[in-house]
Structure 1
């Protein structure tokens, strides 16, 4: 079952919803046949059990009781938050058990459980509130797995808490909703915490197909101790007319030299003098300071390159702890 992007329920409906932290990991359905074994499958259906050998012990925690659970595999950072960049070093190793075992020692996975679809029998037709009660009764807390609390009501406070803690966001779930496998349901609403930043455009790459002749993406940076540090490629957020207008500005600013302190890996890149200031929206930053899931908001003609993006602290991004 998948969540639909949206916003908090109306205040009058708040107590009819539960709120869970949105995790930044790999979704996994956990099959416990009751014989001590365990199988993990990704959203694609791929068997990813061998990728996370530290989760094999989960197979014996319910004894002979068969169950199917829903959850998310994370790799936690020093603050105990899911770090997708760390998780990427663990993914795709199902056919390399030796490498998977070594990576498990270096960056152990943690499975967050948030639903139960089967326990002896089928529970998908039961309301979320009852399924959640059943899940919590299993007391699935271990060295590499846990069942975080779901908060009923108080959605505004829950969302503020995720923002204050630097977490990815919130998932809102109707207490009376059934489990709909394979459905992106309006009974589950996901809210992603997004940030904004002012950036300088230092280059662009051509678009393909209907975007031929227009910028497919712009390459952006921020000042870091007087240098322009590359922070990412932004390819969404414009209408066709806005993209055409941006193309004219970029061509007028073209230069033969890369303005970034290190040249980004960008095939067919065109460099421009970093005079255009833009505002972008993004979710988080990677450990290298790159913007994750960036989208364009607007040009900032009211800002100059000198006063738009204050120099970043040396070697750090402004929103990293």
Structure 2
């Protein structure tokens, strides 16, 4: 059977729906992985396509058996490929060693034996020769669950109807990335970033010490395009944890440029010094507060954004210390 190519529907960043509308929404855990659409032809084969449309089937050989999961029934399924850590939580850092191996099947097979992935399925878009795109989420979800897709490397996690505040609190309590809210009457809109799906990312805040900056370009010429930040380790060394390039108003950037200019130095304050072409170093005297989604295993901040300058704190007073990532 020839299956239609379907571009994934996307969620819009936002907040929980109003409490008065809570019962009209379903809530799913936001996963930190690689979005895929799985095409099961009903002949035992499966084709996995990334959000870009690229065929990535060969990168995940442990998922090839999904092609037999529905027997002769053809289907198009929406989901996310995850790499799970020892606690069973998605770890994007682990997944990165598996991504990009679609053209290296031998290496992908070795990686699959070392660090198998898991595919979570959350929508069915086409089933047994019929498009389900125009059906409301409630009906598509019921049909997906009826398929019983639970296997060694794939599953269909439950979706919670209503109780959004409790669901979001649970993701925070368990250190999960966040929540996706889906309106029960929403149709599937391929390629659309829709308000019918809302994603809420759990963000963390931390104090960091500014040790350098990168000049901005274009309209930001002469201003910092990003600041390079770090945290002290247990021995007191300033360890680089990433660059922060968003979160300021133009006025705040101008003020920050003045402060950085006064602290200019030719010596990198980080140990070890990061390889950041074009970096301008400063004396580590400024403390800022940033928010971020998660950390890599090396302690680097993912998706950091600037919150505020902590002029009430000196670097010595800042209590934030780089967490131990050796385990």
Q: Output the TM-score relative to the length of structure 1.
A: 0.97
Is the 1:223–1:309 contact (alpha carbons within 8 Å) kept by the matching residues of 2? no
CA RMSD of the aligned region, Å? Answer: 1.2
Q: Residues 1-321 of structure 1: matches in 2 within 5 Å?
A: 1-120=9-128, 121-225=130-234, 226-312=236-322, 315-316=324-325
Q: Secondary structure at the match of 2:231?
A: strand
2:218, 2:277 → 1: CA distance?
16
2:321, 2:100 → 1: CA distance?
37
1:90, 1:236 → 2: CA distance?
29
1:180, 1:12 → 2: CA distance?
25
Q: Secondary structure at the match of 1:40?
A: strand
Is the 1:110–1:144 contact (alpha carbons within 8 Å) kept by the matching residues of 2? yes
Instruction: Give unmatched runs, 5+ long, in structure 1.
Output: none
1:217, 1:8 → 2: CA distance?
31
- Quote how far apart the aligned CAs of 1:130 are: 0.8
2:6 maps to what in 1? none
- Quote how far apart the aligned CAs of 1:257 are: 1.1
Is the 1:199–1:309 contact (alpha carbons within 8 Å) kept by the matching residues of 2? no
Q: Which moved more, 1:98-107 or 1:303-312?
A: 303-312
Q: Secondary structure at the match of 2:284?
A: coil
- Quote how far apart the aligned CAs of 1:117 are: 0.5
Is the 2:40–2:47 contact (alpha carbons within 8 Å) kept by the matching residues of 1? yes
1:68, 1:90 → 2: CA distance?
23
Instruction: Give unmatched runs, 5+ long, in structure 2.
Output: 1-8
Is the 1:70–1:113 contact (alpha carbons within 8 Å) kept by the matching residues of 2? yes
